[in-house]
Structure 1
Amino acid sequence: MSPDAQSSNQPSKKDVSIGAYLLGRLKQLGVKHVFGQPGDFNMGFLDLIEDDEGIEWIGCCNEMNAGYAADGVNRVGVLVTTFGVGELSAMNAVAGAFSEMVPVVHIVGTPSTESQSQGALLHHTLGNGDFKIYHKMYENITVAQTVLSHHNAKDEIDRVLRECYIHSRPVYISIPTDICVKKIAADLSQPLVLTIPENVHEVEYAAINRVIGRIHKSANTIVLIDACASRHDISKELLDFINKTGFPFFTSPMGKSIIPENHPLFGGIYIGSVSEPHVKREVEEADLIISIGAIRSDFNTGGFTYHVSQAKTIELCYNRIKVFFATYEGVSMKHALPKITACIERMPSSTISPPYQHNLLEDDVKDQRITQNWFWHEVSSTLLQENDIIIGEMGTSVFGLMDIRFPPGSTFIGQILYGSIGYSVGACLGASLAATNVKERRRVCLFVGDGSFQVTAQEISTIIRHNLNPVIFLINNNGFTIERMLHGIKRKYNDIAQWKFDQTLEYFGGSNEVGRTVKLATKSDFKSFVSSILPATPSRIQFVEVMMDKYDAPRALIGTASFTAEEHMKEKVLPMLHEKLHKKEVSGEQ
């Protein structure tokens, strides 16, 4: 049934402003917060947001950070900017959401239709009378775009929001100042139609039969789960499939925690040649690999070092199924996977994957320095709790998190494909607000490096302003360690200014009542801090500076760097790095 369909017993349409209609539709998508910055072309719409009881306006320090926050809510996020300068500032964040397949609605307040039709020489333009140029820029980083008018607003709002939800990608909505307040006849009691179209029966039938036939012939099948399984909401269907088949499953770094990592069939994280040995062996020696929602980017595959043959791989994707070298287009995994599960005849396997094992480290009590591998092991074994939202910055943090096991109910947020430095701080704001909307408030743990933090640090002030309580671990290793691993290990361009991080909360307007700042320089310091915050979720911000050596790096980063750096860097940088690392604590080196 279309959004406009009505029955005789439904209420008649009422006049509502276009801006109010858009807000009503956003609330139907579960939107609770709108992020952005005010500008003279969006303030009429901001009035409507501020006066709406169901949505809260979150003013950020800049538009890019607002985009990161909208990305971090882990559902449909909304970003509002002004024309030109505002939307261009947000473009990097929207591009990241497009790359990572995150549904973000970017609403841009633009000059009036009269000013645009006259080609007026207005501020925020390029001075050439072209008011479409920014819109055109967004065509490559959004899945749908529209310019609202009095005549098309209702249908276009419904169309674009549906595209955002169905395809899990950003969309762009332009609202001229005079259009926002125009009245239209609309009935918001009619919900948006958000169902995914059914697969073509004949193609789906052929694909499912082929998949089931290959599964029943295999003696050693494993499942490899990647990010699209989460992006396109098949976690439940996937868990049903795992439970019925008894197949061991592994995930990519981007697929972490889609299925709980305490599941008895979880084997670990597969990162190609960077994987821990038992994981690499089980995946690559399997007779059949069922790949779900794969994103084969460089950092997600250990520098393109997957050693799995297409001749033994079945791929289930958002809009196709591939069985070895045959492709069935237009068959969505959302509809197909439950049918595959229903048809599987095999009982749960008696061969269970070995339990997930992290590299256990011998704790040298005489050496109190906090090293990367020790830190991440301790984070896994002593810090993380059930239902945590775990955010990792693209740097040593993401690579450290790759190797550790998350507790049940955890959610992982990172930007491994797009990898925009500073993303995680804005995402922490969005995730922290989202965590307040659930019945049992979830703890948010952010892990960010000192270099990345300096890019978007000002959003800490927004976190303070809204009385949020994340646990923020700032890894102070004196610069961009991930860049050092790839190139220029001793170059000055990988250095940063040393801030007084222990004054961060104070500088951004906080006090002892809103947060606590802690500096950890030894292993004993870390253990004492963990003991002080467990088991309860902190009621105020915990800003934790962790001191580490600038040439130290997690196992997975060292391995990935060895496959992605240029040949001359593999010859020069990595031997230098290995010489400086505490070798007894860096196991599984490639």
Structure 2
Amino acid sequence: MTSDIRTQGIKNPIDVAEYLFRRLHEVGVRSIHGLPGDYNLVALDYIPKVGLHWVGNCNELNAGYAADGYARVKGISAIVTTFGVGELSAVNAIAGAYSEYVPIVHIVGTPTTAAQKNGMLLHHTLGNGDFNVFAKMSKEISCAVAMLDDPYEAATLIDHTISECILKSRPVYIALPTDIVQKKVDGDRLKTPLDLSYPPNEEEREDYVVEVVLKYLQAARNPVILVDACSIRHRALEETHAFIEKSGIPVFVAPMGKGAVDETLPNYGGVYAGDGSNAGVRERVESSDLVLSIGAIKSDFNTAGFTYRVSQLNTIDFHSYGIKVRYSEYPGVRMNTVLSKITARLGQLNIESGPNPNNVIPEAEIKSPEPTITQAWFWPRLGQWLQKDDIVITETGTANFGIWETRFPANVTAISQVLWGSIGYATGACQGAALAAKDLGQLTSRRTILFTGDGSFQLTAQELSTMIRNKLNPIIFIICNNGYTIERFIHGWEDAYNDIQDWKYKDLPAAFGAEKGEVLTYRVSSKQEVEQLFADKEFASAETTRLRFVELVMPWDDAPKALIETAQSAAKRNAEVS
């Protein structure tokens, strides 16, 4: 009753759900992923009212993967699930987004506040009267949690939570009880946009750090720049690019940073991942006397099994939470403006050129009379076919490692899940990424291209249905190599647990409801057939409005060199005795 009295004097009252979805629209969300459930149905009615599009996924896990892919292209995403059974199905995807710094707003429809207060024995509960248990689970994989159980506080909590999602680039959790959906909040608050600017660094501290970095930079004989994923996630790409271009220092990317740097730049040198690096890269990076590391995430798959050989004594780390110069730490000094000031004050530097990666197919592959499509042949050849502005999604496995050998055209967005590595992620992420491109008005000017293994695809194949339903036109390559190749190289070379049932993949679009001619299907099993496919103008064009679905047949026992080395490292580590 108290809450109702407090909201009676609102001059411009709007419903809580409308306020929430209008704020999401304000920050760039145009499509909402998720599934209906009885505790979120009334809230879903507000989605079209505020100009948003309801996607309607096949299950919550897929919806979470799709929201992840959408956010990586659009900047933020939202997913709606129902209490308990729905939200827990999405937890794996949300955890992946948390580990990889992807901003997703997870909205959960919950039972009424009265039912929760009284501990009622409701469906979708554990039967013990505890209605907070699932929120507590999500708290560990969210940078903010908002329980909207009081309309008087709802607008403030919504604003804070969405802002935290963007500023910290991680998922947030919003619980929306069914009886709060239509409660009133002050709509006039929407006239003031959310403040999404980063808090400024303390100027004196920032200037000191800039001086320290410049001192080491001027003294270096052969510096290099190494760019990783957090430069993307924490909105530092503009400052990073300005620094790279003005300095002319050789620049390399870690696997998770693939796509962060314009690979057409003359000082781009390739992928550094320790022993899994492109040709000539490891020697150049590890012989440097100063490594300027921007947004590093030094996980096992991102370093080819922890095979980095770069001393911290020769490293300056730039992050969203602080700067580390050799072994001296400067917490609270954000990298963005530090990079800008360094760029503005750059003088003449000592620069030793780095390697020049290309998409030249290895000579042994060119001379081989074998028609089989090999990993060593395919990924450089792919680089010759890719176009400016493509969105390229690669699944954990052969595709994720193979793409290291592909030099991108300008402005390619690369999506992969190197750290979390949840099998099946890429198919859902493809749906989200393609939809984000559509929401940006780029459906027929920008290609979305997925590379996923047959084993991975079988986990989330239903999202092909969602793509058809939403009139999306990605190019999907299913790498048909009879099972879980990355697992084979770790353990169980010919064991049954790494095998899968062979599907008739080309028949799936029709099985999922595609009308005749709505989806183009192909099967290629030789290099010549790949060449013919790549030369097909309808297949290759960004303007083709039809989804394209390809069975790409490759040997079951073939893998990129970097995958083999990383798998060997993982196998050795798994066998260690404590």
TM-score of Structure 1 vs Structure 2, range by shorter chain: over 0.9
Q: Could you tell me how far apart the structure 1 residues matched to 2:67 and 2:290 are?
A: 39
Match of 2:358 in 1: 357
CA–CA separation in structure 2 for the residues paired with 1:439 and 1:60: 21
- SS of 2:324's equivalent in the other structure is strand
C-alpha contact 1:45 1:180 (8 A) present in aligned 2: yes
- Kindly provide the amino acid, as one letter, of the partner of residue 522 in structure 2: V
Percent identical:
47
Aligned to 2:5: none
Compared CA separation, residues 450 and 158, structure 1 to 2 (3 A): same
After superposition, where does 1:389-428 map in structure 2 within 5 Å? 389-428=391-430
User: Within 5 A, what are the aligned runs for 1:81-480?
Assistant: 81-148=81-148, 149-187=150-188, 188-346=190-348, 351-358=352-359, 360-362=361-363, 363-364=366-367, 366-381=369-384, 383-440=385-442, 441-480=445-484
Q: C-alpha distance in 1, partners of 2:541/2:30?
A: 29
Task: Tell me if the contact between 2:264 and 2:409 (Cα under 8 Å) persists in the aligned partners.
Answer: yes
* Closer/same/farther in 2, CA of residues 318 and 536 from structure 1, 3 Å limit: closer
CA distance in 2, matches of 1:384, 1:141: 35
- 1:250-309 CA-partner distances (Å, limit 9, x unpaired): 000010111111111100100111213410111001111000000000000010010000
Cα RMSD for the two superposed structures = 1.6
Whichever residue aligns with residue 82 of structure 1, its letter is T
Is residue 501 from structure 1 mapped to residue 505 from structure 2 by the alignment? yes
Question: Which of 59, 62, 66 is the matching residue for 1:62?
Answer: 59
For the Cα contact (< 8 Å) 1:69–1:429, is it kept in 2? yes
Q: Tell me the SS of whatever aligns to 2:297.
A: coil
2-structure distance, mates of 1:406, 1:277: 16
Secondary structure of the 1:436 match is helix
- The one-letter code matched in structure 1 to 2:305 is G
User: Does the residue aligned with 1:250 lie in a helix, a strand or coil?
Assistant: strand
> In 2, distance between residues paired with 1:295 and 1:288?
18
Distance of 1:350 and 1:208 partners within structure 2: 20
Cα-to-partner distance string for 1:313-370 (whole Å, 9 max, x where unaligned): 00001111000000000000022211121222226x6643332235632324631111
Q: Output the amino acid matched with 2:491.
A: H
Please say if residues 444 and 471 of structure 1, whose CA atoms lie closer than 8 Å, have aligned partners that are also in contact.
yes
Asked whether the equivalents of residues 222 and 352 of structure 2 are also in contact (C-alpha less than 8 Å), the reply is no
Distance in 2 (CA, whole Å) between partners of 1:330 and 1:85 is 39
Q: Describe the SS at the equivalent of 2:152.
A: coil
- Change in CA separation of 1:535 and 1:18 when aligned onto 2, cut-off 3 Å: closer
Aligned to 1:390, the other structure's residue is in SS state strand
Looking at structure 1, the residues matched to 574 and 426 of structure 2 have their Cα atoms a distance apart, in angstroms, of 32
Query: What per-residue deviation string (whole Å, max 9, x for no partner) do you get for residues 132-169 of structure 1?
Result: 00000011100000101212101100111110000000
Write the distance in 2 (CA, Å) between the matches of 1:329 and 1:17: 41
Whole-angstrom CA distance in 2 between matches of 1:568 and 1:170: 30
How do 1:541-580 and structure 2 match up within 5 A? 541-566=547-572
* Counterparts of 1:567 and 1:386, CA distance in 2: 39
Describe the SS at the equivalent of 1:193.
coil
Q: Is the 8 A contact 2:145 2:161 kept in 1?
A: yes
TM-score, normalised to structure 2, is: 0.94
Assess if the C-alpha contact under 8 Å between 2:322 and 2:331 holds in 1. yes
**2: CA distance between counterparts of 1:196 and 1:350?**
33
Q: Gaps (5+ residues) in structure 2? A: 1-9
The amino acid that maps onto 2:328 is: A
- Contact 1:16–1:186 (Cα < 8 Å) also in 2: yes
Shift of residue 567, structure 1, vs aligned partner: 7.0
Match of 1:34 in 2: 32
TM-score, with normalisation over the residues of structure 1?
A: 0.92
Moved more, 553-562 or 414-423: 553-562
Q: Of 43, 49, 55, which residue of structure 1 is paired with 2:41?
A: 43
> Partner amino acid for 1:369?
T
Query: What is the deviation of 1:50?
Result: 3.0
**Aligned residue type for 1:171:** V
Deviates more, 1:200-209 or 1:17-26: 200-209
What's 1:6 paired with?
Answer: none
In the alignment, the residues of structure 2 paired with residue 205 and residue 492 of structure 1 have an alpha-carbon distance, to the nearest angstrom, of: 60
**8 A Cα contact 2:222 2:351, kept in partner:** no
Could you tell me how far apart the structure 2 residues matched to 1:462 and 1:186 are? Answer: 34
CA distance in 2, matches of 1:529, 1:569: 43
Q: What letter matches 2:182 in structure 1?
A: V
Paired with 1:316 and 1:328, the residues of 2 have a C-alpha distance of: 10
Tell me the equivalent position of 1:577: none
Question: Is the 8 Å Cα contact of residues 278 and 357 (structure 2) preserved in structure 1?
Answer: no
Q: Secondary structure at the match of 2:45?
A: helix
Q: Deviations over 1:211-247 (max 9, x none)?
A: 1111111111110000000001111111111122111
8 Å Cα contact 1:487-1:569 kept in structure 2: no
Deviations 1:431-483 (A, max 9, x none): 11111123443110000000000000001001001111100000000000010
Partner Cα distance (1:333, 1:397) in 2: 31
Kindly indicate whether the alpha-carbon contact (under 8 Å) linking 1:467 and 1:514 is maintained by their aligned counterparts in 2. Answer: no
| Number of residue equivalences | 556
Query: Structure 2 residue aligned with 1:538, among 535, 538, 544?
Result: 544
